[in-house]
Amino acid sequence: MTGTWELVGGDVTIVDDLVLRPARPWTATVHALLAHLCAEGLDCVPEPVGIRDGVEALTWVPGDAGPEAWRHHVDLDGLRSAAALLRRIHDATEGFVPPEGADWAFPPVPGATVVTHGDPGPWNFVWREGVAVALIDWDYASPAPAMDDVAYALETFAPFRPDEEAMESHGFVSPPDRAERARAFSEAYGLGGTAGLVDRVAGRQEVTVDRIAALAERGLEPWAAWVRAGYLDELRGRVRWTRGHRQLLE
Ligand SMILES: Nc1ncnc2c1ncn2[C@@H]1O[C@H](COP(=O)(O)OP(=O)(O)O)[C@@H](O)[C@H]1O
Ligand SMILES: [Mg+2]
């Protein structure tokens, strides 16, 4: 595609087989990571096409994502496919050498050997025939312990949310068996068990509060608007819910 890359309404825009998204300060670093993953032979991440006029272009991956994703994650085999895909991607990030002057949305955790995706909820997987086939939306990537991503994913895959919310918004027809789902996710990811996971999930939820606050403090949108609208209080409420319902998992 030639000419100017234009976002319709400032948002993610799909033109032919390209996805156009607003470029961020860290987009060049994320493109270097995605190029590394593609060179490693992964076909489960979008290919970086370029950055121009404040817009990034990536290849479009066919399948269900966003709101269409929830119905696929309910099934245990769907959940397992997402966990296995996350593991495959984490393993492939290990040899990545960030470019000089690399910028990430969040400071790298010292000693981290993996680059985490940072937002691996069901909505950022692309699903085909009930199977998670790709992981998109890499804005929150940063070097950090892989378990941070596992904990983040479990928050919504288990989910650590009230039954009503799980049934109204996450596609469940009855209250989810969180212990069974956490076990299945952990096994498919390759963990030895689920011990300590509740605290990991709550700890990762706290990290989300700090991260959104930090992006807002930098004056970046949409995060500043989220904070103005009181989103941090909602996030803190989620941490309390997780800590108050540990018996659902333990
Ligand atoms: N590479 C891609 N392939 C297919 N669909 C995509 C891709 N990137 C984005 N999308 C679609 O656009 C939606 C929003 O894009 P996303 O990158 O997740 O941004 P955000 O969640 O920050 O709005 C996704 O839920 C998905 O439906
Ligand atoms: Mg997204």
Task: Return the structure tokens found at 120.
Answer: 């691996």
Query: Which residues have C-beta atoms less than 6 Å from ligand 1?
Result: 12, 19, 21, 46, 58, 60-61, 65-66, 123-124, 126, 136-137
Q: What residue segments make up the domains of the chain, in order of their start?
A: 8-59, 66-248
Per-residue pLDDT of the chain (250 residues; tens, 9 = 90+): 556 788 887 789 999 899 999 999 999 999 999 999 999 999 999 999 999 999 999 999 999 999 999 999 999 999 999 999 999 999 999 999 999 999 999 999 999 999 999 999 999 999 999 999 999 999 999 999 999 999 999 999 999 999 999 999 999 999 999 999 999 999 999 999 999 999 999 999 999 999 999 999 999 999 999 999 999 999 999 999 999 999 998 8
Distance CA 122, CA 133 (A): 12
Question: What CATH number has the domain spanning 66-248?
Answer: 3.90.1200
To test the pocket of ligand 1, the residue of 31, 123, 137, 221 to mutate (highest count of ligand atoms within 8 Å of its CB) is 137
Q: Give 200 Cα–ligand 1 centroid separation in angstroms.
A: 27
Flag whether the pTM goes above 0.85.
yes
To test the pocket of ligand 1, the residue of 5, 12, 20, 220 to mutate (highest count of ligand atoms within 8 Å of its CB) is 12
Q: From the CA of 56, which ligand is nearest? A: 1
Residue ranges of alpha helices (H) inside the chain are: 27-39, 70-73, 76-93, 146-157, 163-169, 178-189, 197-217, 223-228, 231-244
User: Length of the chain, please?
Assistant: 250
Give the CATH class of 8-59. Answer: alpha beta
Q: Give 66 Cα–ligand 2 centroid separation in angstroms.
A: 6
CA angle 139, 140, 144 (to 5 degrees): 140
